[in-house]
Chains A and B, each alone.
Chain A
Amino acid sequence: MPVRVGVVTFPGSLDDRDAARAVRLSAAEAVPLWHADPDLHGVDAVILPGGFSYGDYLRCGAIARFAPVMESIVAAARDGLPVLGICNGFQVLCEAHLLPGALIRNDRRRFVCRDQVLRVANTSTPWTNGYRAGQEIVVPIKNGEGGYVADKRTLDALEATGRVVVRYAAGNPNGSYRDIAGICNEAGNVVGLMPHPEHAVDALTGPGTDGLGFFLSLASHTGVAA
């Protein structure tokens, strides 16, 4: 049995298809999950993809947080289910309080779309165990509201406990505090990041295959041979 990874589609999700494709390239099975259906269909992990759920109305991720599927995901995440939030998915995880802090408008007031160098800081999460600590990878970033903010106490705690998962290297694209591109929860099973590893899984359509590690890491975490 391959690992079964749920990919949620909210109204306004854009990158659910790419996330599902990245899952399949890691030899796992992608299971579509629908925002209005609280059933997680027994998946081994969940990805919240990028996009503009509910049109980014109110705040990015603020409405998606109350979708029926999120109630199940929040409960399962607290029980240890691996969850990866990419871009809008990261914003949803922050709004749902599964991750601390918030994402605000980029300090340069522009939508940023480029290939971004990241440094992997935490290789003990289910989503990053396939990388080397300090490894630099290149994945696309594309957001208008990707500035990670939190109060000083939260930032200090994240750093002291190794919960910064990836950092921006070679330039901070959006004013994120302490160059934070992605973080995890205390248990490490919930990871959120603004850059898009699912867009860097095939040299034909991305800057390379550096992002595939997120999806391969999960397969090795769940102990099923890819």
Chain B
Amino acid sequence: MARVVVDVVLKPEILDPQGQAIVGALGRLGISGVNDVRQGKHFELEVDDSVDDATVERLADTLLANPVIENFSIRRN
């Protein structure tokens, strides 16, 4: 068994209204200096050792992320 982490974020050119709402809320919290927030998704997968990198790449590319609007990164812990 291994833990694989997949992080998914919107591509830089795609507007992120949720991130903008967070920036606005930070201002109301009295915190200054945070200029931009991009919100993403974090997946933790428990996988058998038989699941190879190519398979993880494929599941991230076809289900966890929509490659039209999102980028993803994979790391094995």
User: Contact residues of A with B, CB < 8 Å?
Assistant: 58-59, 62, 66, 94-95, 100-102, 104-109, 147, 149-150, 175
Fill in one digit per residue for B61-77: 1 if any A CB lies within 8 Å of its CB, else 0.
Answer: 00110101100000000
User: Contact residues of B with A, CB < 8 Å?
Assistant: 10, 14-15, 17-18, 20-21, 63-64, 66, 68-69
Q: Which residue of A lies closest to B21 (CB)?
A: A109
User: Smallest Cβ distance from A159 to chain B, in angstroms?
Assistant: 18
A109 touches B69 (CB 8 A): no
Given A109-B20, A109-B21, A149-B69, also A104-B15 (CB < 8 A): yes
Which among B14, B17, B66 is the interface contact of A59 at CB below 8 angstroms?
B66
A107 touches B15 (CB 8 A): yes
B63 touches A58 (CB 8 A): yes
Chain A residues within 8 Å of B63, by CB: 58, 62, 66
Q: Which 7 residue pairs across A and B have the least CB separation, nearest first?
A: A102-B68, A109-B17, A102-B69, A105-B17, A109-B21, A102-B66, A59-B66
Chain A residues within 8 Å of B10, by CB: 104
Chain B residues within 8 Å of A108, by CB: 17
Chain A residues within 8 Å of B68, by CB: 94, 100-102, 149-150
A58 to B18 Cα, complex, angstroms: 15
Interface centre among A66, A108, A149 (most CB of B within 10 A): A149
A59 to B21 Cα, complex, angstroms: 19
User: Smallest Cβ distance from A153 to chain B, in angstroms?
Assistant: 12
Interface centre among B20, B21, B63 (most CB of A within 10 A): B63
- Residue contacts A-B, CB under 8 angstroms, 19 given: A58-B63, A58-B64, A59-B66, A62-B63, A62-B66, A66-B63, A94-B68, A95-B66, A102-B66, A102-B68, A102-B69, A105-B17, A105-B18, A107-B17, A147-B15, A149-B15, A149-B68, A149-B69, A175-B15
